[in-house]
Each structure stands twice: as structure tokens, then as C-alpha cells.
Amino acid sequence: MPPLISIDKDKCKLCYSCVRTCPAKAIRVQNGVFDILEDLCINCGSCTTVCFQNAIIVKSAKESVKELLKKRKDVIAIVAPSISGEFSDITDYRSFVGMFKSLGFAHVNEISFGADLVALQYLKLLQNFKGKYYISSYCPAVIYYIEKYYPELINNLAPIVTPAVATAKVLHKIHGYGVPIVLITPCFAAKRESDINRQRDSVINYVLSFQEIREMFAEANITENSVSYSEFDPPIAYKGSLFPISRGILQAVDINEDLLTGRILCTTGRDNFISVIQEFKAHVEIKQHLDLLYCDGCIMGPGMSKGGGKYLRRSLVINYVEKRLKNFVREQWESEIKEYSALDLSRTFNTNDNQKTVSPDENVIKSILHKLGKSTKEEIIGCSACGYENCKEFAKFIYFGYASPEMCRQYVYEKMRTSVEKLAFTNEELSNTKAKLIASEQKARAEEAMAEEVSDSLRSMLKKIPLSIVMVDKNMKIIQTNQPFINMFADKRLSPEDIIGRSITDYLPFCKLFENLFSSETDSLKRYYEYNDKIYSINVFNIQKDEIAGAIINDMSNPEILKTEVIEKAQNIIKENMETVQQVAYLLGESTAKTEQMLHSIIRSHELGSKKDPNG
């Protein structure tokens, strides 16, 4: 089934009102997005009553009912008696019965007669008391809450259908079991009950809220003045019309409420009903049946139009019942009660929807609380602004993924404060960085201006040098050259600016030398090349290692260049011959010295021999 209640994330203003009012803690906040956890939701509609942005959407049955009314002429409307508290602007109840029939409903019945039947069932239950205490089961929101969060009390729920279902069963018996029935009620939880029942036995086909029926009247231009009076269709109720106000179901069958002798504890309202359920479970000393309504009576149901006062609505319902009872025929009512009392009004409950969770280990809870910035006893007690009773309960729901830390205002404020401090620090750093960037930009501009000046000087110098010069980058693109280079290798009609940015390979046939220089460790290379019957000398050298290289290219057929080359060659030969002569002279000198030393040695040897032998 699609969710009954959802959140329009575009309208949501993150005010947390819905989170705080949800009794089931079924609204999760993650990354600033609110989601309703359908498994946890009891469809009470409390969130819709506190959302002033109208961001919470309840699934509408309007269009489905309109289509049903077009297709079928036997559709029955069953109306909650709290409608008299809703339509305070209509002076006579017979008018809104006529308005329903103008919409196309064949029959209009109050669920008050079903309330009479249900009240009698409760009376029997109490009269046959055997020590077991029951919880009333005519409020769908109360039923869902117990099924999900107090499954151990399901056995204490009175096994009796709601007044709406009881009325539908009566009308199915009268008009046939194929007749479609639409419930008009202030209860959103009844919409979910209808969805569930429709999957089983189609007792009630659709549920419209009072807000929706108002919209249908407006869309069809139906007003009190545009219709004739019409009475509710039989069977007519007795005091069951008091059902929508506190203790109304008890008064329908005059059940004793005396404080000394009565055995029923009545309570209404979100906080009150939860408290009494908790105490009923915890204390065996509570020896009373529980008569519970989630809302402050059905007259304050979420399907009522916003802004109505509780006591005004209560007065309107009581006045309406008083008017109805003036024409009440007790004998007819007793006859109809007797006829339909044989209907099966029993029910069972869902025992497979337990949403209770086992509390995690205490250390896990402490760890989560620590992350939330809560360590002292005072901090852990909590403010309940997140919607949870205390911080430990909140931490438990965080552990199970039903809540997130950002639901804690203190945590968010602390993060915000830290973020503001970080932002202030970051802003200061940005300010300093900005100042540095401005200084760097000024320096870069100065360097750029200087570089442009140097570039202009370089271009001026290149124009004055008669030699063929070219400069290329590592991608072999020409970045500077001069006219002698163009005259030598390109169209003489071009200027140096015309070929800057072009590839050197487009002009210089022996540009491989540049690649060799970029890939070698040497700082310069010199080669001779023959091209177009001319011999060129090219001397390439690093200007910026591995990035920019320059080249000086000479045409060796040029007499001036040739003369220079010859002189250079002659100088190199003289230098080389001088080095050779010097080396030969050194070797000859060294050899002469050795020979002289040897001869002197021989002479000294002979002189010593003569002195020893005078006859010799």
C-alpha cells in the first residue's frame, strides 16, 4: 500500500514541529530532509495539525470517490456524528444530508447506530467481567499504537469492531454486500483501516475527511441554500451520536462512571493516552478498563477543518443530539437493535507489526551521547526539543537508524558555532590569501611588463644581427626569429611575426638537431649540412634547459662567413700544431736529459776503474 502520510520536501521549512508532536517518533531527519517512516507511523495525523507550511500530505480519496459516484448510483455515505461540530456554518443538519445526496450518494447514514451496537457489546463485556481488564478498540490510532509499541497488550484490546465498521455491516445486510460504502470522518487513521479492510472484505470502500468533503461541496457549487432538507436514512441512532466526545460511548448505554463503583478510566489526548497505557502495563494495581481516544475526542480529529474550538464543537454535537432525540422513537430503535445484534461484530488484531526495539548496550549509548556532545548528567536529561523523552531514548533511536544527530538542537547549535568559528578563521585566511594574491598579481604584472620589455629588446636586437637566428620551444614551435632566417629559408615577403607559432619543420630541413639537443645532456651542438647545393653550419644551444633552444645558421657559401670560417679553422690548426710541437719538444727534452744522464754515468764508472788499477 502507498503511504497514507508523506512530506512535501519543497514546502518543508525544517521547523521540527512535526517531529516533536509525533507520538510514534516516526519522522526521521537526515541531511536536512524529513521522512515519515511508514512502519513506525500510527497514522494519527498529529503532524498535519502542527505543520503551518502545509508540507505534510495525506493521501486523498476525492478523485476515487468522484469516479465511484459516476459509475454507481447506489453508493452509501456513512457519516461520523462529529460532522455537526465541523459544519458550524450550516444551521440545520438536514441541510448537509441534502448536500451529500446532491453529490450523488444514494443513501446517507450516521455511524451513530453502529456506535449504539458497539456500546452494547462493551456493556456485555463489562457485565461478563472475569478479572480481565480491557482497552477500548474503537479508535484506530490507539489500536495501531498498541499493535506496534505495546504488542504485549494486544490481548487486552476489546475484540469489538469500530462504530464505522459496525454501521457498514448493518448497511451491507440491508442493501446487499456488493454496495459501495464511503465513510466521512475526521479520523485519518480510519483511512488506513479502510485500506487494510478493503484488502480483506471491502466493508468500507473509501474514506473521506471532513476537509475533503468540504472541498467536494465547493467544487460542485453545493451550498446549504442550494439543496432541500433531507433526513438521515434508517436505522436511526439513540445516544450513539455522543460517540465523538469523551465518555460518549459509555453514555450511549448508561455505563456507570461513579468514582467509587465505576471500573472504567477514560482519557483523551496524545500525551494522556500514552501515559495511561504505560502505567496500565507497568502497574497491576490499575484495576480499571481503559476508554481511550487518541484525539481530544473525535471532534478534534486531524480531518476536521483547522481553527475550530474544542468546546464550541462539543456544544454543537450535544445540541445536535438533543434535537435528534426530540423525534426519537425508542420502540423502533429497540426493534432495529434486536434485529442487527446478531451481526458478527468481533475482530482480531495484527500481532505481526511489533516495532519495539531492544535497547543497545549501555556503552553504545554512551558513545552516541559523547558524539552528541553530552557527557554530564544534566546534559543527558535532555530538553525533549528533538521529540524524544530524553537523550538516552534519542540515542537509542539514532542507533536503530530512526533518528539522526541533527534532530538535536544543541548538537546543531554547537556544530553551527564551530562552523562559524571555522568560517571566521577561513575568512581571515582568505583575506590574507587575497592580499598575497594581489601582491603576486602586481609582481606578475611587473614581471610581465619586464618580460615584454625584454622581448621587445630581443626583437630589436634580432633585427640588427645579420646572422640567421631562430628560437623554438620543446614542441618545435617558433617563438622568435629574424629576417635573415626568413630570407634564407622562407618567403622573403614574410616578416618574422608571420611565422611565429608555426612549426620549425615547415621551414628548416635539418631541424632534427633541435630534438637531439632536447634529448641530450649537452648544452650545445654544431653540425654542417648540405642543402640546395649549399653548405650550412648550424649551432644549436640551450636557452632554457629542455624548454627553449636557439640556433645560429650560417651559409658557408657567403664570402664573409667563409673567410671567418677559414680564419677560425687556421687558428684551430695553429693551436693544434702548437700543442703537438710543445708535446714533441717536451718528449725530446725528456729523452735528451735521460741520454745525458746515462753518458755521465758511464764516464764516472770508467774513472773509478782507472784509479783502482794503475797498470791497466
Asked if residue 441 and residue 292 are part of one domain, the reply reads: no
CA distances from 370 to 39, 67, 364, 374, 397 (A): 29, 56, 10, 5, 15
Q: Is the peptide bond before 235 cis (omega within 30 degrees of 0)?
A: yes
Task: Output the pLDDT for position 250.
Answer: 66
Confidence of residue 581 (pLDDT cuts 50, 70, 90): very low
Average pLDDT, whole number, for the chain?
82
Better pLDDT: 473 or 555? 473
Asked if residue 474 and residue 451 are part of one domain, the reply reads: no
Task: Output the pLDDT for position 259.
Answer: 41
Q: Indicate whether 398 belongs to any domain.
A: yes
Confidence of residue 616 (pLDDT cuts 50, 70, 90): very low
Asked if residue 42 and residue 32 are part of one domain, the reply reads: yes
Using one digit for the tens of pLDDT, what is the confidence trace for 149-159?
Answer: 999 999 999 99
pLDDT for residue 103 is more than 80: yes
pLDDT for residue 253 is more than 90: no
pLDDT for residue 202 is more than 70: no
Task: Output the pLDDT for position 94.
Answer: 84
Asked if residue 483 and residue 380 are part of one domain, the reply reads: no
Other CB atoms within 10 Å distance of the CB of residue 485: 24
* Boundary-marking domain end, from 506, 529, 557: 557
In which domain, by residue range, is 64 found?
60-340
Instruction: Tell me what percent of the residues of the chain surpass a pLDDT of 90.
Output: 25
Q: Indicate whether 568 belongs to any domain.
A: no
Q: Indicate whether 520 belongs to any domain.
A: yes
Please classify residue 128 by burial: count the beta carbons closer than 10 Å to its beta carbon, then call 0-12 exposed, 13-18 middle and 19+ buried.
Answer: exposed
Most confident of 124-138, 170-184, 372-386, 423-437: 170-184
Better pLDDT: 452 or 566? 452
Q: How many residues does the chain have?
A: 616
pLDDT for residue 493 is more than 50: yes
Q: Indicate whether 446 belongs to any domain.
A: yes
> In this structure, what is the dihedral angle of CA atoms 91, 92, 96, 102, given to the nearest 10 degrees?
-110
Using one digit for the tens of pLDDT, what is the confidence trace for 204-247?
Answer: 999 999 999 999 999 999 998 899 988 899 998 888 777 777 76
Asked if residue 64 and residue 43 are part of one domain, the reply reads: no
One-letter amino acid identity for 443? K
Task: Output the pLDDT for position 379.
Answer: 66
* Residue 572: its H or E element: helix 559-612
Task: Output the pLDDT for position 515.
Answer: 87
Better pLDDT: 76 or 271? 76
Q: Indicate whether 589 belongs to any domain.
A: no
With a threshold of 0.85, does the pTM exceed it?
Answer: no
Asked if residue 269 and residue 215 are part of one domain, the reply reads: yes
Using one digit for the tens of pLDDT, what is the confidence trace for 313-358?
Answer: 888 888 888 887 788 888 998 899 999 989 999 999 999 988 887 7
Q: Indicate whether 449 belongs to any domain.
A: yes
Confidence of residue 260 (pLDDT cuts 50, 70, 90): very low
Beta strands 289-293; 264-268: pairing state: parallel
Task: Count how many domains the chain has.
Answer: 5
Task: Output the pLDDT for position 590.
Answer: 53
Asked if residue 378 and residue 310 are part of one domain, the reply reads: no
DSSP 490: S
* Boundary-marking domain end, from 557, 588, 603: 557
Task: Output the pLDDT for position 571.
Answer: 58
Instruction: Tell me what percent of the residues of the chain surpass a pLDDT of 70.
Output: 84
Burial of 33-44, coded b for 16+ CB within 10 Å and e otherwise, reads ebebbeebbbbb
Asked if residue 64 and residue 40 are part of one domain, the reply reads: no
How many angstroms separate the CA atoms of 228 and 233, rounded?
A: 15
Flag the least confident range among 17-26, 140-149, 337-346, 454-463.
454-463
Using one digit for the tens of pLDDT, what is the confidence trace for 498-518?
Answer: 889 999 988 888 888 888 888
Confidence of residue 144 (pLDDT cuts 50, 70, 90): very high
Please classify residue 190 by burial: count the beta carbons closer than 10 Å to its beta carbon, then call 0-12 exposed, 13-18 middle and 19+ buried.
Answer: buried
Asked if residue 532 and residue 486 are part of one domain, the reply reads: yes
Task: Output the pLDDT for position 261.
Answer: 45
Task: Output the pLDDT for position 79.
Answer: 94
Q: What is the CATH number of the domain that holds 25?
A: 3.30.70.20
Flag the least confident range among 359-373, 381-395, 557-571.
557-571
Asked if residue 456 and residue 473 are part of one domain, the reply reads: no
| DSSP reduced 3-state for 582 | helix
Confidence of residue 179 (pLDDT cuts 50, 70, 90): very high
Summarize the confidence of residues 581-588 as an average pLDDT: 50
Q: Indicate whether 254 belongs to any domain.
A: yes
C-alpha R_g of the chain: 52
Task: Output the pLDDT for position 193.
Answer: 77
Task: Output the pLDDT for position 170.
Answer: 95
Most confident of 146-160, 465-479, 510-524: 146-160
Please name the residue that has the C-alpha cell 788499477.
Answer: 613
pLDDT for residue 140 is more than 60: yes
pLDDT for residue 377 is more than 80: no
For 292, residues 6+ apart whose C-beta sits below 8 A from its C-beta are 135, 136, 139, 142, 266, 267, 268, 273, 276, 277
